Amino acid sequence: TMNRLVLCLPLAAVLMNVIACDTAPKTSDLNLQHLSYRGLQGVLAEATEKKTVLIIDIRPPEDFEQGHIPGAVNIPDPKQFMLSGLNDPRLLNADKVVVYGEDFRRNFADPAAKRLIAMGYSNIFSFPGGWREWQSHNAPPQPAPDAN
């Protein structure tokens, strides 16, 4: 019977992990709303005194300091919201939340947005084109090369 107990303990641990994972809130790509650049412009245009849009830049602080979408707040680790629970006033007071990172290739915005959805927040959007797409539409025009 001791051998059976030794064999059953690891199996019980595995089953406990599976059960714990099954009870956690799940989010899938179906829960996630992606914004194109035009869609982001529309969401930003909705921002008024009565309707707030929170823009979260998840890039490292040094990248944020070099440039970001106007009005964005830098939260490089969305786990910070988990630590503060569902009482974070920035999230509670926002009508819509947009999360963005660097670009499509390094799209860390989707997992961060899904984490917020799993925590119970609604109206969460991901802007997968990120800072690079924003910059491509908003970069100052480059001077034309001299014809000489």
Q: How confident is the model over 94-143, as pLDDT tens digits?
A: 999 999 999 877 778 898 898 888 888 889 999 999 999 999 998 766 56
The residues pairing with 34 across neighbouring beta strands, listed in sequence order, are 126
Greatest Cα pair distance, the chain, in angstroms, is 92
User: Tell me: the pLDDT tens digits for 39-96?
Assistant: 999 999 988 878 899 999 999 999 999 999 999 999 887 666 666 555 678 888 899 9
Q: By the 8 A CB rule, do 32 and 110 touch?
A: yes
The residues pairing with 54 across neighbouring beta strands, listed in sequence order, are 97
Within the chain, strands assigned E span 33-34, 53-57, 73-74, 96-100, 124-127
Task: Classify the phi-psi angles of 35: left when phi > 0, otherwise alpha if psi is within -120 to 50, otherwise beta.
Answer: beta
pLDDT, position 127: 95
pLDDT, position 3: 47
pLDDT, position 82: 62
* HSE-CB of 81 using CA atoms within 13 angstroms: 25
